[in-house]
Amino acid sequence: MISKCNDNDRDELLANLSRHLSKELIQVKIPNSRVRKLYKDRQNNFYCVFVGKKRWHGFYTSMLDGLSINDSTKVFLIAGILDADALVTDVYSGSFHKIFMNPSLLGNSNKHNQLDFMLIVNGDTATIRESPDIKLQRIFSYKSQSAMFA
């Protein structure tokens, strides 16, 4: 069985993403939620950050509340896909504004109040299976240090 990614994997992705974008990413506190997947930069761009060893991800509906409260106009999806065998994480980015404006594109939320989505990777492009017109591009890869201890 493959273990889930943990806070160390997310922290490593955030550090590498901040370095790649040359921006400080600040966690957005969502009222009544412990979700650590929503960040913003000083220019008020928002980043929904996911990392996993598989291509399935869950977007908490509380993140929509966090984006609404902050009157978000630029929302990016960042997905890190960890290859634990090669110890490499590929990082993909694309606009998430369409899903923010119309979350039903991902279907109905599950019992954990998540909207599930699956990424289909083909070369440097990842497509959201549930909304195939939304595409992400690989922006960089990094050698994962935290995966060595998984």
List, for residues 44-73, the tens digit of each pLDDT value: 899 989 888 777 787 777 777 777 666 666
Task: Give residue 82's Cα distance to chain centre.
Answer: 12
Label residue 34 by pLDDT band (50, 70, 90).
Answer: confident
Sheet holding 135-143, edge to edge: 26-27, 38-40, 46-52, 75-83, 88-95, 135-143, 125-128, 114-122, 56-60
The SS3 call for residue 29 is coil
Q: 56: which strand partners?
A: 118
| Per-residue confidence band for 27, with pLDDT thresholds at 50, 70 and 90 | very high
Computed from CA positions of residues 121, 127, 130, 132, in that sequence, does the dihedral angle turn out positive or negative? negative
The one-letter code for the residue type at 53 is K
Q: What percent of the chain has pLDDT over 90?
A: 37
How high is the pLDDT of residue 94? 94
Q: What is the mean pLDDT of residues 137-148?
A: 84
Q: Structure pTM?
A: 0.84
Provide the 8-state DSSP code for 55. S
What is the overall mean pLDDT for the chain? 84
